[in-house]
Amino acid sequence: MMLTDHTTLSQFLIEERRRFPEATGDFSALIIDVGLACKAIARRVANGALGGALGQAGTTNIQGETQQKLDVIANDMFIRANEWGGQLAGMASEEMDMPWAIPPRYPRGKYLLLFDPLDGSSNIDVNAPVGSIFSILRAPNPGVEPRPEDFLQPGTKQVCAGYAIYGPSTMLVITVGTGVHGFTLDPHLGEFILTHPRIKMPPTTQEFAINASNARFWEPAVKRYVDECLEGKTGPRGKDFNMRWIASLVADCHRILIRGGVFMYPRDTRDPGKPGKLRLMYEANPIAMIAEQAGGMAITGQDRILDIKPSKLHQRIALIFGSREEVERIEAYHRDHSGRSYETPKFKADELFHTAK
């Protein structure tokens, strides 16, 4: 019986499953369980200080980053919602050193779940948008506890990717390889309702997102691109750009998905031994799949994100994604400046200051 005039997440997944008569329903059940975890996290985030979950947890994750209380809570919610159903062979989280072993009392399934339980958690105390990111892979050995290397599959092997954003409303955005669809949580029904079907990212844009405080460390291609954007109508681009930076990957991604833009967390020279800041398995791969399914692109600068073969579970990487025309331009600039430098234009003094007459 239809309880609403709109399509729920469950109904959407059932319709998708009907296209594949051989499907068992395990995949749909797994996404429903992921959605349940996101609902629970949304409630804790919405309670804010009233729930006593703000502030630091007094622990660090494998990357040496200080964990927030809600990092730990969200991680536990993902585990509890997904370990029991029998769809998963194993799970891996940004917040855990090693994959989570499914307890022996539960059956093991044919999928692997990777997740960042609370992206942008440093924004929690200032009440800014945060989210969760997840990726689903097929287990190489269904029904068997996976080895860490079983998770090291390129992004092209993802069967589902998605994120939840906890903002003025809670949204779940997913792709199962047939486009990108957004579902808004109806707090009265407790259901995700399809509100943004077949999302398409605008191919061009006048917005970019980057942490400008790192400008002195950027690669020449990135410096050139940002400088040209800042020159606006008088520069080679012939149009003005806006810069947006929320410092929450999910929030920046959602804005770009809906209205276009380009996000850049490029490789820089601060630590030549580190190829980037963001995590390939928990952040870059799922966001890249969503971007491509929406008509956009996702690269490191030189390489397509989804083609990269992971070498370790917590591998870091550069990430540039967004509107196709802009990402193609940045990719071309990386080719242009491979092996040669770029000199930032010097502004004339009278362009920066003037004396009132």
**Per-residue tens of pLDDT for the chain, all 357 residues:** 455 568 999 999 999 888 877 778 899 999 999 999 999 999 999 887 666 666 665 676 666 666 778 899 999 999 999 999 999 999 999 999 999 999 999 999 999 999 999 998 877 778 889 999 999 999 999 999 999 999 999 999 999 999 999 999 999 999 999 999 999 999 999 999 999 999 999 999 999 999 999 999 999 999 999 999 999 999 999 999 999 999 899 999 999 999 999 999 999 888 877 789 999 999 999 999 999 999 999 999 999 999 999 999 999 999 999 999 999 999 999 999 876 777 776 544 344 434 443
Residue type, position 189, single letter: L
Residue 121 among known ligand-binding residues: yes
Q: What is the pLDDT of residue 356?
A: 41
Query: How far is Cα 333 from Cα 253, in angstroms, rounded to an integer?
Result: 22
Residue 227 among known ligand-binding residues: no
Query: How far is Cα 129 from Cα 73, in angstroms, rounded to an integer?
Result: 17
Residue 240 among known ligand-binding residues: no
Residue 211 among known ligand-binding residues: yes
Please check whether residue 276 is in contact with residue 88, taking contact to mean a CB–CB distance below 8 angstroms.
Answer: no
Place of tokens 């750009």: 241
Q: What is the DSSP string of 267-325?
A: -BSS-TT---SEEIIIIIHHHHHHHHHTT-EEESSSSBGGG---SSTT-EE-EEEE-HH
Residue 277 among known ligand-binding residues: yes
Burial 141-151 (b: 16+ CB within 10 A, else e): eeeeebeeebb
Report the Cα 296 to chain-centroid distance in Å.
Answer: 14
Q: Would you state the structure tokens that stand for residue 221, as one six-digit string? A: 């291609």
Q: What is the pLDDT of residue 60?
A: 66
Residue 120 among known ligand-binding residues: yes
Report the Cα 273 to chain-centroid distance in Å.
Answer: 24
Query: How far is Cα 268 from Cα 166, in angstroms, rounded to an integer?
Result: 30
Residue 283 among known ligand-binding residues: yes
Residue 94 among known ligand-binding residues: yes
Residue 119 among known ligand-binding residues: yes
Q: What is the pLDDT of residue 21?
A: 75
pTM of the entire predicted model: 0.91
Place of tokens 């998708």: 16
- Burial of residue 196, with CB atoms counted within 10 A of its CB: 0-12 exposed, 13-18 middle, 19 or more buried: middle
Residue 15 among known ligand-binding residues: no
